[in-house]
Amino acid sequence: MALALLPARCLRRLPLRPPRLLPAPSRGLSGPRGGPPSALPLGRRVAVVAAVGGAAGGAWLYLRARKERERRERRRRELRALALGQGDFQLVDHRGRPRCKADFRGQWVLLYFGFTHCPDVCPDELEKLSRAVELLDRDAALPRVQPLFITVDPERDDVAAVGRYVRDFHPRLLGLTGSPEQVRAVSSAYRVYASAGPKDEDGDYIVDHTIIIYLLGPDGLFLDYYNRSKTADKIAESVRRHMESYEPLLD
Partner 1 sequence: MSAPTMEERKACWAARDEFWRCLDTHTEDAPRCEKLRRSFESLCPQQWVKYFDKRRDFLKYKEKLETEGFHPAETDGKS
Query: Among the candidate windows 35-43, 54-62, 195-203, 237-245, which touches partner 1 by CB under 8 A?
Result: 195-203
Residue number with CB closer to partner 1 (31 or 163): 163
Q: How many helices (H) and strands (E) does the chain have?
A: 6, 9
Residue number with CB closer to partner 1 (117 or 230): 117
What is the distance between the alpha carbons of residues 113 and 175, in angstroms, rounded to a whole number? 10
Min CB(116)–partner 1 separation in Å: 4
Q: Strand 213-216 and strand 207-209: pairing?
A: unpaired
What is the distance between the alpha carbons of residues 217 and 37, in angstroms, rounded to a whole number? 66
Among 78, 120, 181, 244, binds partner 1 (CB under 8 A): 120
Q: Is 119 in the site for partner 1 (CB under 8 A)?
A: yes
Min CB(227)–partner 1 separation in Å: 18
Min CB(91)–partner 1 separation in Å: 19
Q: Is 117 in the site for partner 1 (CB under 8 A)?
A: yes
Please list every residue from 171 through 190 that binds partner 1, using CB under 8 A. none
What is the distance between the alpha carbons of residues 234 and 132, in angstroms, rounded to a whole number? 8
Q: Is 200 in the site for partner 1 (CB under 8 A)?
A: yes
Q: For 22-44, b where at least 16 C-beta lie within 10 A, e where not — what string?
A: eeeeeeeeeeeeeeebeeeeeee
SS3 for 142? Answer: coil
Binding-site ranges for partner 1 (CB under 8 A): 116-117, 119-120, 123, 156-157, 161, 164-165, 168, 200, 202-206
